[in-house]
Structure 1
Amino acid sequence: MSEQFTQQVSDRICKHMNDDHADAIALYARTFGNSPDTESAQMQSIDATGMNLIAQRQGESVPLRIEFDHTLKDSEDAHHTLIDMVKQARGAAKST
């Protein structure tokens, strides 16, 4: 079984996402955070029910909370959920 959501797990996921997938985080903000004018975003924390982002839009930092469609079981579930969300967001962006 994968790790439960501890502060260390949240920190590790956020570091990975911010370092390697900044474009995906901005896409989450635009699509799921109802913030279509987001220029960039950072993941501040993640827990079993959602993620907290700071979006940059029009020169301002705006906090966003994005709730997941289910309660995550562990870090492996978070990994799969974040991948599914970026695929969904990319599909939505293509259809507009």
Structure 2
Amino acid sequence: MSEPITPAISERICKHMNQDHSDAIILYAKVYGNTPDTEIAEMLSIDPDGMNLSAKVKDEIIPIRVSFDHPLKDAEDAHHTLIDMIKKARSSKN
């Protein structure tokens, strides 16, 4: 059984994503946040229903809420869902 998505788990996921997968966060903002002109983005938090991003679009910092297609059960579900979303986003760009 994986851990529930608590504020501490959200912080851990965001830190990992921001440090190691910044390109994925930009793509989440572009594709799922409907901001195709996103230049940079940061994951601020994640909860069972979605993620909160901050994106720089045309020299303006804007908040973006990306909803998931299902409520996340736990941290493992978050991991798989984020991977699935990036795969779909990349294939839609090709």
Q: TM-score, normalised by structure 1?
A: 0.97
Task: Look up the match of 2:85.
Answer: 85
Task: Look up the match of 2:3.
Answer: 3
- Gaps (5+ residues) in structure 1? none
Work out the percentage of aligned pairs sharing the same amino acid. Answer: 62
Aligned-pair distance for 1:2? 0.4
Aligned-pair distance for 1:85? 0.3
Q: Distance in 2 between matches of 1:6 and 1:69?
A: 19
Task: Look up the match of 1:32.
Answer: 32
Q: Distance in 2 between matches of 1:55 and 1:88?
A: 20
Aligned-pair distance for 1:8? 0.5
Task: Look up the match of 2:65.
Answer: 65
Task: Look up the match of 2:56.
Answer: 56
Alignment of 1:11-30 (within 5 A): 11-30=11-30
Aligned residues: 94
Aligned-pair distance for 1:52? 0.1
Over the residues paired in the alignment, what is the CA RMSD in angstroms? 0.4
Q: TM-score, normalised by structure 2?
A: 0.99
